[in-house]
């Protein structure tokens, strides 16, 4: 009888915890699920979670949204879906990076083109005044650097440490990117 009583108290305690914190816990789980589904390109799961009421601009503890995680992984179908469902194209994470920063660092040219077509800010600066072009130079994708230059990125912008995209590319040993930037007039 004592064991049953303790068991009953435990069940009641768990139930009370769920009643008090349950919605917050399920919201956090749902946000994690949404970001994970976006990262992995699971259109069906993303749609189901959004239909269930998970916020399209929900953030993880680092301030990243589902649009950011889809962009990091070049999941263009998810990018389109999230934008059509109201995702903020210029949302910023805890490092002040945008979706365009993420896609540029990873060299996802088609994702960058898509984001720019939807109005992503090519001049956005993350922490330490890091531009999208600087991150593309660090990422090592010549195609990404070419695209951003063609779209009007500031080739001579300086980070807080005084470095430019050209400096970052040179220090990383990306000679083709150095050549592209120099041909575009970078100093």
122-179 tens-digit pLDDT: 999 999 999 999 999 999 999 999 999 999 999 999 999 999 999 999 999 999 999 9
- Containing structural domain, residue 34: 1-88
Share of the chain above pLDDT 70, in %: 84
| Cα–Cα distance measured from residue 39 to residue 37, given in angstroms and rounded to the nearest whole number | 5
| Residue ending a domain, choose from 37, 72, 88 | 88
In a 10 Å sphere around its CB, with 0-12 CB exposed, 13-18 middle and 19+ buried, how is residue 59 labelled?
Answer: middle
Instruction: Name the token pair of 60.
Output: 């993880």
Q: Given this model, what pLDDT does residue 6 score?
A: 54
pTM of the model: 0.82
Q: Is residue 134 within 8 Å of 161, Cβ to Cβ?
A: no
| Residue ending a domain, choose from 33, 61, 88 | 88
* Residue 147 CB neighbour total at 10 angstroms: 19
| Cα–Cα distance measured from residue 176 to residue 137, given in angstroms and rounded to the nearest whole number | 10
105: CATH: 1.25.40.20
The answer to whether residue 22 scores a pLDDT higher than 70 is no
Instruction: Name the token pair of 10.
Output: 């435990």
């Amino acid at each position: 009888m004592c064991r049953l009583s303790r068991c009953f108290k435990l069940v009641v305690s768990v139930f009370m915890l769920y009643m008090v914190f349950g919605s917050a816990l399920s919201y956090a789980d749902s946000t994690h699920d949404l970001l994970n589904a976006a990262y992995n390109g699971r259109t069906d799961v993303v749609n189901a979670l959004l239909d269930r009421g998970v916020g399209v601009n929900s953030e993880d503890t680092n301030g990243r949204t589902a649009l950011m995680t889809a962009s990091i992984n070049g999941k263009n179908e998810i990018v389109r879906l999230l934008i059509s469902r109201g995702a903020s194209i210029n949302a910023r994470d805890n490092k002040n990076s945008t979706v365009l920063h993420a896609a540029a660092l990873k060299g996802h040219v088609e994702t960058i083109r898509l984001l720019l077509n939807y109005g992503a800010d090519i001049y956005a600066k993350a922490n330490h005044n890091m531009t999208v072009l600087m991150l593309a130079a660090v990422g090592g994708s010549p195609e990404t650097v070419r695209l951003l230059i063609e779209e009007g990125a500031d080739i001579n912008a300086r980070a807080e440490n005084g470095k430019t995209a050209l400096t970052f590319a040179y220090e990383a040993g990306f000679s083709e990117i150095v050549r592209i930037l120099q041909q575009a007039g970078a100093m």
